Amino acid sequence: MLSEPWKRKLIYLTPSGALSKVTRPTSLGAEIVVLGRKLYQSKTMNPSYLWLQKIQGEVRTDELMSDHTSLRIGGPADVFILPKDIADLQTILKNKGTAPLFFLGEGTNLLARDSGIRGIVVSLKEGFKTVSRPLFYKSIDGKEKAVIKVQAGVKLSYLAKYAARYSLTGIEHLVGIPGSLGGAWTMNAGAEGVDIGQVTRSITRLTTRGEIEKLKRDQLIFNYRKTQFPAGHGLLIEGEIELEKGDAVEIQNTMDEHLAKRSSRQPLTVPNSGSVFKNPEGDTAGRLIESAGLKGKTIGSAGVSIKHANFIVNKGGAKATDVLKLIRLIKEEVKEKTGVELELELVVAGE
C-alpha cells in the first residue's frame, strides 16, 4: 500500500502525454487537474487542499467524529481543523470556497451521523483556551463585581472552578455541564435556573465574511437552550462573563452539592450526550418518557438510560441511526400517550 503523500506525487509524476482534466463534485467544489494517467483519486488529492498547509494549527483528514463526541458516535469529517489563532480562521474562511463549515465544541450535545460530516469541521478546543484574570470593579449599586474574558475553547466547568478561586459567584451551578464556552453560548447551557446567558456581557464572533464582531448582551437573545444571534451565528471566539463577589465556602459547597447530585442522577459512566429533549413548559422530558414506559428501551446499541429517561446512552458500538430511530420512537410514543410534542435539544450534524 502506498502512503497518501506518495499517491499524490504519483498523480503529478506519471507521464501520459495529454493533460487530462477531471472534474469531481467534492465538498470543496474545486476542479481536480491531473497531469497524467488517473491512478488513484481521493479527496486528499484535491489541489485546492494545498491551502491547508498554511494553517499553523493542526489539520486532519477523514477524522472520525466518534473521537470528538461524548456519545462516541459519528463517521469521518472530510477535513478537521484545530486552528491555532485568528489568522488560521481567516485562512479557512478565505480559502474554503463552497465547502460547508461546521463548528465543533466538545461534542457533548451532538449526534454526528454515521457517514460523517462533509466539508470542514473547525474546533477551537486546542488554540482558543485563554482565560483572563478577573477585572474587579464596583458597580453603581456598590456591589463588587468582576469581568472575565474567556475564549470559546475553554471548558465551562473549568471556568466555574476558576471563578470560584476568586470567590466569584454566578456560575457555580454550571460546574458539572461538560462542553466548551462556544457550545454553552450557542445552546445557552444552564442548570438549576441559571444559564450562561445571565452572566454574559458580550460575545465576539467571526462572521462567515471574515469580520470580527463584538456583540453586546442586548444584541443577543438568550432563550431556553438556544441563543439567537443577529444575522446568523458565525464562529464564536470569545466573550466576557460578569460575576459578583461572593462567599468562597458557599460557592464551593454549591459546586460540591451540584456535582454529587449530577453523578447520582445522570448516567455519567456511559457515553451520552446529556438531555436529548428540551423540557416542555411545566414538565420534564424525563418524566414524560418514563411515563410512556420507555425507560430502558433499546434500539441496536442505543438505549434510554435507566438512570435518567431523557438521556440516550451508547451501550457499545451504537450507530447514529440507532439513536435517530430511538428518538423517533420516543417522540411518537410520548405524543400518543401524553399528547406532548417533545422538541429536540440535541444537535444532529452531518449526512
183 binds ligand FAD (CB under 6 A): yes
Catalytic residue among 167, 225, 238, 273: 225
134 binds ligand FAD (CB under 6 A): no
Residue written as cell 446567558?
A: 197
- 351 an active-site residue? no
273 binds ligand FAD (CB under 6 A): yes
Helical spans, DSSP H, in the chain: 4-13, 86-95, 156-165, 181-187, 248-265, 285-291, 320-338
Strand partners, 18: none
Spatial neighbors of 279 by CB under 8 A, at least 6 apart, are 285, 310
178 binds ligand FAD (CB under 6 A): yes
347 binds ligand FAD (CB under 6 A): yes
314 binds ligand FAD (CB under 6 A): no
Among 33, 52, 101, 191, binds ligand FAD (CB under 6 A): 191
Strand partners, 58: 82
220 binds ligand FAD (CB under 6 A): no
C-alpha 66/C-alpha 156 separation (Å) is 21
Choose between 107 and 246: whose C-beta lies nearer to ligand FAD: 107
- Half-sphere exposure (Cβ direction) of 325: Cα atoms closer than 13 Å: 12
22 close to 40: Cβ distance less than 8 angstroms: no
70 binds ligand FAD (CB under 6 A): yes
Among 236, 276, 294, 334, binds ligand FAD (CB under 6 A): 236
Neighbours of 214 (CB within 10 A): 12
Long-range contacts of 283-287 (CB under 8 A, 24+ apart): 283/340, 284/310, 285/309, 285/310, 285/342, 286/310
75 binds ligand FAD (CB under 6 A): no
Among 167, 200, 272, 279, binds ligand FAD (CB under 6 A): 272
Shortest CB 253 distance to ligand FAD, Å: 19
- 275 an active-site residue? yes
Shortest CB 139 distance to ligand FAD, Å: 27
312 binds ligand FAD (CB under 6 A): no
32-61 positions binding ligand FAD, by CB under 6 A: none
- Half-sphere exposure (Cβ direction) of 341: Cα atoms closer than 13 Å: 0
Choose between 46 and 106: whose C-beta lies nearer to ligand FAD: 106
CA–CA distance from 77 to each of 51, 112, 310, 342 (Å)? 18, 10, 28, 29
Among 45, 92, 99, 110, binds ligand FAD (CB under 6 A): 110
C-alpha 88/C-alpha 96 separation (Å) is 12
76 close to 64: Cβ distance less than 8 angstroms: yes
244 close to 169: Cβ distance less than 8 angstroms: yes
Q: With CB under 6 A as the rule, give the number of residues binding ligand FAD.
A: 33
Shortest CB 154 distance to ligand FAD, Å: 10
- 345 an active-site residue? yes
Catalytic residue among 167, 180, 273, 275: 275
Interface residues with ligand FAD (CB under 6 A) are 70, 103-110, 124, 152, 177-180, 182-184, 186-187, 189-191, 225, 233, 235-236, 266, 268, 272-274, 347
**Which positions are catalytic?**
225, 275, 345
